Amino acid sequence: MTAPYVTSPFAPRRRATREVLVGDVGIGGENPIRIQSMTTTNTQDVAATVEQTEQLAAAGCEIVRITAPSITDAEALAAIRAELDRRGVRVPLVADIHYTPNAAMVAAEHVEKVRVNPGNYADKKKFAVREYGDAEWRAEVERVAERFRPLVQRCRELGRALRIGTNHGSLADRIMNRYGDTPEGMVQSALEFLDVCESESFRDVVFSMKSSNPQVAIQAYRLLAARLEERAPGEPSYPFHVGVTEAGSGEDGRVKSAIGIGALLEDGIGETIRVSLTEHPVKEVPVARALAACYEARSKQPEVEAPEPGAGYCDDPFDHVRRASHFVRAGCEIGGEAPVRAELELGDVPEDAAGLARRLAVSLAAAPNIECEGLTVNVRSEADAARVETLAAELRLVDIDAPLAVVGPPSLSSQVPSAARWVVPLAPGEDPAEALGLDRPVELRLDGALVALPGQVDAVLDAARGRMDLLFSTGAWPPVHATRTLAAQLRARGAGHPIVLRHIGLGSQADDEAALLAAAIDLGAPLCDGLGDAIVLPAGKDPGRSLSLGYRILQGARQRTTWTEFISCPSCGRTLFDLEEVTERIQARTGHLEGVKLAIMGCIVNGPGEMADADFGYVGSGPGRINLYVGKELVERNVPEAEADDRLVELIRKHGRWIDVPAA
Ligand code: SF4
């Protein structure tokens, strides 16, 4: 049996961890969630790196990472640290090391923390396929340990911290051959390095388990938390640096980051976070701060009552298995094998229902490729009911055939014949029997503390007497934990009714970015656990944009693919071209290719390894030169940058993955 990975899956409570000091900044223990980022300048350009580090610190970044690809770069860290000290900028620095143990030894002299990647510190990454016998495996582990040990010893002497930073896309061939590119392989890889640290009585260790796929990141961090608990049951564990790597830019990058980082913070996992965006690093800081603030606010909520001691809410928290549900036909099919539906909540219908229908049509037309699969409206009176009927007729006139879900008292249902399902908010203690007398599918929205009262879901199911066209949602708080509690209660009864995930609005968060991040957490985290048969977002001022966000969340949680999946690195001192500009250019040209995964990576040192499961890769190979990949295979070498976009498109065509941009 796997040890618990979290204090409780039903409440946002932090894992107990030891404190690791990085300079003056403590990670873990009682410290707040620390915010990190990474410079994108050439490390040997000391002035530029100092300047950017200072900008990051001023923006609220508490720890700054700088790449050290060579001994010369590692030596430059001394000048960078000295100049920052001279300017009174005390922010701790982390040297980022791949492939170069010698550079790590130099860097440890100058910075407060060293990050190593177990996949490439002393191991090979040539995508070679071969079997390792047990003796050969042990010899390899020992060889890597002996390469790593001097760094551990030096960090202990100097009082430096270490991050054992595993990446899904850059696992060593040895690990890949035995475990594949799995969370299990990532954890194994990290623990081999921890063995060396502990054998040297060195415990100033922070872990990361990054992936560009939020699902994989969530599973790997959970699995590592469980394995560490198995190694030292009941003891404070090592802190985790949480992030989703190569998340991309813009809304997609923020959504993916919020799903992965947010879901883990909701688990109570994550003592320091970095949001990796293909944008100027200063822009990462407010996103990371908003994610941390979202969690901090929720963790102050009173404890919700767990459904049952040891209750499970999903099939496997270490793997994605969609919760089995039966389908309900409510305008369209929800649940069962149907894709997770994307719907919008309109709220009250104004007197000018025709105007609303026209505004909707215009806004949704600006969001091609995606379909609104449901609209929720409120009905409180007979006048409201009449307006909804007018709206239904007007929607038909503007060719919107989204089924209507009506929130209101069951007594008004006969006056809204066009409602495809009736949504009944149920407060604690209310009798569900009246709602269940309706002659159409019913969604029971469990509000307030109801979801925390195990007996109430039982009462609903008893009153339903086997009725199948019943859906559940919850408006209880905090949303991720309320959804888990609901799922656990249904699971305990073996009830396969679909679950609708309703994003219940902004709460205290007012700006657009915070709203986007909260929606991505509240909807994306349950989806990654296999929970949710439909998502509903507030339509807001721009329904097309809200619906696009819904589909982006579905794509980020790997539930429905609508657009090209971009995996682009955040860039660093190794980057060989203007990554942000190139990414924007390629996105503009290829963003419509549904189901294609396209990687844009700054360098050939790490790029090919970290592209994970991309279909095509565009990777900087030298100044002004690009290597193009199909999967992991290098197919065109040193293409001049001016020609590389066209050659990439040609490659996509040649492999039958290109489609022309749909006519507007
Ligand atoms: S792939 Fe990008 S972020 Fe990673 S080392 Fe290369 S340039 Fe830096």
On whether both 634 and 552 belong to a single domain, the answer is no
Closest residue CA from atom 3 of ligand 1: 571
% of residues, the chain, pLDDT over 90: 76
The answer, yes or no, to whether any atom of ligand 1 lies below 6 A from the CB of 627, is: no
The answer, yes or no, to whether any atom of ligand 1 lies below 6 A from the CB of 100, is: no
Whether 316 is in a domain gets the answer no
- pLDDT tens readout for residues 448-466: 777 767 677 888 999 999 9
73 within 8 A of 603, measured Cβ to Cβ: no
The answer, yes or no, to whether any atom of ligand 1 lies below 6 A from the CB of 606, is: yes
Write down which residue in 556, 574, 596 finishes a domain.
Answer: 556
Whether 113 is in a domain gets the answer yes
Whole-angstrom Cα distance, residue 499 to residue 475? 12
Q: Which atom of ligand 1 is nearest to the CA of 69?
A: 5
- pLDDT tens readout for residues 321-360: 999 999 999 999 999 999 999 999 999 999 999 999 999 9
- pLDDT tens readout for residues 370-391: 999 999 999 999 999 999 999 9
Whether 132 is in a domain gets the answer yes
Q: What angle do CA 120, 123, 129 make, to 5 degrees?
A: 110
Residues in the chain: 664
On whether both 542 and 569 belong to a single domain, the answer is no
pLDDT of 468 > 70? The answer is: yes
The answer, yes or no, to whether any atom of ligand 1 lies below 6 A from the CB of 575, is: yes
Write down which residue in 299, 315, 340 finishes a domain.
Answer: 299
Write down which residue in 504, 538, 556 finishes a domain.
Answer: 556
- CATH code of the domain containing 60: 3.20.20.20
pLDDT of 307 > 90? The answer is: no
Whether 617 is in a domain gets the answer yes
Q: How confident is the model at residue 306 (pLDDT cuts 50, 70, 90)?
A: low
On whether both 546 and 579 belong to a single domain, the answer is no
On whether both 147 and 252 belong to a single domain, the answer is yes
- The 3-state DSSP class for residue 427 equals coil
- CATH code of the domain containing 586: 3.30.413.10
Closest residue CA from atom 8 of ligand 1: 572
Whole-angstrom Cα distance, residue 465 to residue 450? 20
Residue of 49, 120, 571 to test ligand 1 pocket, by largest number of atoms within 8 Å of CB: 571
Whole-angstrom Cα distance, residue 598 to residue 65? 26
On whether both 53 and 127 belong to a single domain, the answer is yes
Whole-angstrom Cα distance, residue 32 to residue 9? 20
**Parent domain of 50:** 20-299
Whether 8 is in a domain gets the answer no
Residue of 574, 580, 582 to test ligand 1 pocket, by largest number of atoms within 8 Å of CB: 574
On whether both 545 and 573 belong to a single domain, the answer is no
In the chain, how many domains are there?
3
Long-range Cβ contacts of 453-461 (<8 Å, 24+ apart): 453/305, 453/428, 454/305, 454/307, 454/308, 454/489, 454/492, 456/428, 457/486, 457/489, 457/490, 457/493, 458/489, 458/493, 459/432, 460/426, 460/432, 460/436, 461/490, 461/493, 461/495
On whether both 63 and 188 belong to a single domain, the answer is yes
On whether both 548 and 422 belong to a single domain, the answer is yes
Q: Please give the average per-residue pLDDT across 485-490, as a whole number.
A: 92
Q: What is the DSSP string of 82-116?
A: HHHHHTT----EEEEESS-HHHHHHHHHHSSEEEE
Mean predicted lDDT score pLDDT of the chain? 92
The answer, yes or no, to whether any atom of ligand 1 lies below 6 A from the CB of 602, is: yes
Residue at 503: amino acid letter: H
On whether both 273 and 373 belong to a single domain, the answer is no
Whether 237 is in a domain gets the answer yes
pLDDT of 660 > 90? The answer is: no
Whole-angstrom Cα distance, residue 46 to residue 81? 10
Whole-angstrom Cα distance, residue 499 to residue 470? 9
* pLDDT, position 507: 44
349 within 8 A of 388, measured Cβ to Cβ: yes
Residue at 346: amino acid letter: L
- pLDDT tens readout for residues 558-590: 999 999 999 998 888 888 888 999 999 999 999
210 within 8 A of 244, measured Cβ to Cβ: yes
Whether 611 is in a domain gets the answer yes
Q: Please give the average per-residue pLDDT across 478-486, as a whole number.
A: 91
The answer, yes or no, to whether any atom of ligand 1 lies below 6 A from the CB of 612, is: no
Q: What is the DSSP string of 481-512?
A: HHHHHHHHHHHHTT----BEEE----TT--SH
On whether both 392 and 441 belong to a single domain, the answer is yes
Please give the distance, rounded to the nearest whole angstrom, from the Cα atom of residue 570 to the centre of ligand 1.
7
- pLDDT tens readout for residues 209-224: 999 999 999 999 999 9
pLDDT of 512 > 90? The answer is: no
On whether both 541 and 570 belong to a single domain, the answer is no
On whether both 396 and 345 belong to a single domain, the answer is yes
Q: Which atom of ligand 1 is nearest to the CA of 96?
A: 5
Closest residue CA from atom 5 of ligand 1: 606
Whether 421 is in a domain gets the answer yes
